[in-house]
């Protein structure tokens, strides 16, 4: 056992004295030590139930012959962090989570790990750590929130943000907003649409690192507790068979996850996290792979914000495995990839049928023949940009309009809510990238304001920052290179015409090469917005959005 390094021999007598201080018995120390990485806290709705999940996991581990020992991981609530300086601290926690989990796992020589994440950066951060530490590991999330109910309709957090825009437009009263406020988020769990947290928890199943139901069983269902117990049992089986994360998270498994991403219509943030996870196994993931996979993968699901269905509906329809099973039948999945079930993904999904073709479309009746995401390139984004194609209305798939340029998110929101943005405009928000932000803030507030003001089918938004999975419309993020390093987005002037063609995967500024070269020669780097603390260190080390904003 790896934990023998801290348990066995005369040299380890001091170590054993510290285990005695923990109240561990000789019987417990004779078994494999399993680290339970629990992201429980009392500020994130998706994490307030993780103490229950952790206790269930510990029971499963103990029942299967291991000794469970819990330690924490941090998590930020993106919704609470939205629209202020706190959002600069969201993406950056992904690397803090990976680093701190690696440190704890290596320092204490655990034989295996069970990761208990739930929300946006917590899931990929722990996946990155799992690949680094490479001891038998199983993931079990806290599960999604149930959908809210407002005026007889299901709803979610994205509707809540859009209600604020509607109030600014005068189409909703303060009482209407209060109705959303009190009823949009009715339970604990990750927010109920196919936002980033649920996207990553579903993709954990597709990668093979989570048991079936990990991404979809609602947080408040007792089935979630059973899943957690089975996760504890499963990690002990993996330990006995010596199945490790790098046996599971392979290049082929990552391509499977990207295929499932396209079918589900996941958050654009997956195009930051998939490259970062790939980076941990030495796979140099090019985001243009998304277009290749999209071209052959139909979009089968339109969960909120793209459509009227929610995670609870996907769960009842058969979950992620039902989607994968359909993809397998058309030869779109590498079925030989290993999973934490002890079976290959092809074996594991057999028998998981689609129980509702309105929630999970059949392969011959997809929402679109191409996947949910697209990578756009052109002279405005030479290294790429990302859009959630499945959440864009048809009339905005091609669009040309004048640039309305803003140097930060707050200025753009003021202009949108002040009625200064009109139909046809292309809102450009720059200096919000990984270095320029720093921290690559999400832009849910401006996208929600655009939708709430009734401009969702006529106005586009482009940024070197990123979007929440709750964003919808022609919202194009991750523009690379970013403004802070002199990317073309830094050279856009008010009134320049921007041409967007999502079908053709192009994003162009209709300005001559000569004019762009002249502007580039005149451009000067801006002083950093933050010069001290973690954000300053992050800004110095972080790469661009097209590379997953990994640290180097």
Q: How far apart, in whole angstroms, are the C-alpha atoms of residue 420 and residue 289?
A: 38
State how far Cα 201 lies from the chain centre. 8
Looking up tokens 């933050």 gives 530
Q: How far apart, in whole angstroms, are the C-alpha atoms of residue 501 and residue 221?
A: 43
Contacts of 182 (CB under 8 A, 6+ apart): none
Radius of gyration (Cα) for the chain, nearest Å?
23
- As separate numbers, helices (DSSP H) first and strands (DSSP E) second, the chain gives 22, 14
Which tokens belong to 358? Answer: 């309105």
If we measure between CA atoms, which residue out of 142, 143, 183, 175 comes closest to residue 159? Answer: 183
Q: Sign (positive/negative) of CA torsion 16, 21, 27, 32?
A: negative
The beta strand positions in 244-380, using DSSP E, are 374-378
384 sits in which H/E element? strand 381-387
If we measure between CA atoms, which residue out of 280, 358, 282, 265 comes closest to residue 318? Answer: 358
156 flagged as catalytic? no
Q: How far apart, in whole angstroms, are the C-alpha atoms of residue 399 and residue 194?
A: 26
Q: How far apart, in whole angstroms, are the C-alpha atoms of residue 81 and residue 196?
A: 14
If we measure between CA atoms, which residue out of 118, 102, 123 comes closest to residue 47? Answer: 118
If we measure between CA atoms, which residue out of 389, 445, 449 comes closest to residue 425? Answer: 449
Looking up tokens 């952790």 gives 54
Catalytic residue among 156, 199, 270, 468: 468
Contacts of 473 (CB under 8 A, 6+ apart): 391, 392, 393, 396, 447, 450, 451, 456, 457, 459, 460, 461
Looking up tokens 């339109």 gives 302
Which tokens belong to 149? Answer: 């109910």
Pairing of strands 475-480, 497-501: unpaired
Q: What is the 3-state secondary structure (H, E, C) of 25-36?
A: CHHHHCCCEEEE
Q: How far apart, in whole angstroms, are the C-alpha atoms of residue 77 and residue 91?
A: 11
Which residues does the annotation mark as catalytic? 468
């Amino acid at each position: 056992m790896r934990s023998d390094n801290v348990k066995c021999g005369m040299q380890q007598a001091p170590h054993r004295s510290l285990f005695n201080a923990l109240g561990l018995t000789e019987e417990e120390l004779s078994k494999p030590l399993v680290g339970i990485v629990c992201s429980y806290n009392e500020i994130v709705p998706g994490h307030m139930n993780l103490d229950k999940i952790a206790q269930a996991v510990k029971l499963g581990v103990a029942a299967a012959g291991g000794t469970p020992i819990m330690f924490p991981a941090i998590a930020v609530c993106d919704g609470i962090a939205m629209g202020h300086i706190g959002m600069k601290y969201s993406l950056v926690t992904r690397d803090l989570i990976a680093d701190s989990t690696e440190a704890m796992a290596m320092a204490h020589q655990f034989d295996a790990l069970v990761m208990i994440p739930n929300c946006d950066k917590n899931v990929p951060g722990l996946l990155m750590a799992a690949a680094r530490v490479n001891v038998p590991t199983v993931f079990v999330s806290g599960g999604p929130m149930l959908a809210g109910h407002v005026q007889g309709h299901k709803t979610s957090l994205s509707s809540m943000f859009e209600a604020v825009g509607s109030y600014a437009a005068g189409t909703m009263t303060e009482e209407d907003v209060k109705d959303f406020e009190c009823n949009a988020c009715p339970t604990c769990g990750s927010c109920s649409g196919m936002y980033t947290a649920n996207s990553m928890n579903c993709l954990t199943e597709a990668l093979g690192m989570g048991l079936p139901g990990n991404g979809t069983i609602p947080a408040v269902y007792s089935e979630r507790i059973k899943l957690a117990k089975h996760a504890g049992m499963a990690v002990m089986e993996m330990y006995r068979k010596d199945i490790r994360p790098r046996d599971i998270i392979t290049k082929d498994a990552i391509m499977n996850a990207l295929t499932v991403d396209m079918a589900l219509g996941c958050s654009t943030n997956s195009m930051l996290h998939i490259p970062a996870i790939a980076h941990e196994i030495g796979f140099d993931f090019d985001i243009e792979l998304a277009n290749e996979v999209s071209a052959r993968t139909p979009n089968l699901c339109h969960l909120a914000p793209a459509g009227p269905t929610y995670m609870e509906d996907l769960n009842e329809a058969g979950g992620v495995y039902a989607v994968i099973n359909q993809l397998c039948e058309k030869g779109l999945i590498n079925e030989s990839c290993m999973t934490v079930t002890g079976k290959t993904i092809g074996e594991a999904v057999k028998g998981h049928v689609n129980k509702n073709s309105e929630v999970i479309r059949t392969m011959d009746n997809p929402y679109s023949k191409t996947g949910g995401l697209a990578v756009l390139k052109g002279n405005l984004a030479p290294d790429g940009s990302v859009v959630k194609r499945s959440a864009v209305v048809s009339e905005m798939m091609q669009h040309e309009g004048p640039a309305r340029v803003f140097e930060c998110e707050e200025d753009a929101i003021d202009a949108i809510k002040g009625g200064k943005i009109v139909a046809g405009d292309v809102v450009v928000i720059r200096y919000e990238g990984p270095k320029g932000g720093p921290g690559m803030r999400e832009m849910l507030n401006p996208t929600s304001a655009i939708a709430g003001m009734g401009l969702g089918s006529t106005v586009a938004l482009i940024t070197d920052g990123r979007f929440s999975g709750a964003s919808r419309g022609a919202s194009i993020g991750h523009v690379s290179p970013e403004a802070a390093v002199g990317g073309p987005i830094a050279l856009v002037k008010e009134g320049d015409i921007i041409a967007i063609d999502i079908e053709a995967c192009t994003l162009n500024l209709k300005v001559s090469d000569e004019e762009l070269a002249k502007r580039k020669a005149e451009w000067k780097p801006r002083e950093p917005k933050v010069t001290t603390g973690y954000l300053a260190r992050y800004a110095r080390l972080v790469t661009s959005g097209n590379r997953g904003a990994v640290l180097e």
